[in-house]
Amino acid sequence: MISLGKMRKTLKTSGIGVILLLFFLLNNGFGQNTIKISNKDTTTLNDIPEQVESIMQKYKARKSQKEISLDEEDKSIDLGGLIIDETISKVGQDFYRYFNNQWNAPGTSKNFNIYISEKPTPGMGNMIIIKINYEEIFKNRISPQQQIIESLVEYAINQSQQYIMNYEKIKKQLEGEDMSGTGIY
């Protein structure tokens, strides 16, 4: 049997004790004026609500002291602006390296990830695919010549920056005052 002293200690240290107390009430206490936990310890049902209430107040006070108020933006971890390499050949890795070295993100945008992947294709070269947040925005064949890789990187960067700027522009328009409201005419 569990002694009342151990039960009180459990109730004071964790919220689990409240659940244990309710379990004992359901199994032993309803319809009786005392709960017999062991032969030596008994407590009246009239004392239990006061004890539970004081324990809950102490638990809430301790929990509120540990909480730190955060803004909505601070609650999430933002890993935006990553350029992820999913290439498989040296030509693809060269493309990624040039892209990564020349990339300058538009100033206002933060929440985007760029995926550079490569698919082998029959014939000359491989297919380079650029996705921004899983939206495919660029797809082109690439050959192993360095001049072609560099010119393709410039074109891909320009297209990626245009996509991000257009995305931000549309996002701001949708968040504007014209689009807010209840939706009821």
Residue 87: what residue type?
Answer: T
Q: Is 15 part of any domain?
A: yes
Q: Is 179 part of any domain?
A: no
Residue 64: both structure tokens together: 């509120």
pTM of the predicted structure, to 2 decimals: 0.55
Residues 90 and 27 grouped into a single domain: no
Greater confidence (183 vs 134) lies with 134
Asked if residue 11 has pLDDT above 60, the reply is no
Residues 62 and 82 grouped into a single domain: no
**Percent residues over pLDDT 70 in the chain:** 58
* pLDDT given for residue 105 in this prediction: 82
Summarize the confidence of residues 32-38 as an average pLDDT: 50
Residues 110 and 164 grouped into a single domain: yes
Greater confidence (171 vs 102) lies with 102
Residues 88 and 129 grouped into a single domain: yes
39, 66, 93 — which closes off a domain? 66
Residue found by looking up tokens 């074109």 in the block: 155
| 3-state helix/strand/coil string of 46-63 | CCHHHHHHHHHHHHHHHH
Helix, strand or coil for residue 136? strand
Q: Give how far Cα 5 sits from Cα of 12, 37, 42, 135, Å.
A: 11, 10, 11, 62
Asked if residue 167 has pLDDT above 50, the reply is yes
Helix, strand or coil for residue 90? helix
Q: Write out the H or E segment, with its range, that includes residue 127.
A: strand 126-132
Q: How do residues 155-164 score in pLDDT, each as one tens digit?
A: 999 999 999 9
44, 66, 88 — which closes off a domain? 66
By residue range, what is the domain housing residue 25?
A: 4-66
Residues 102 and 166 grouped into a single domain: yes
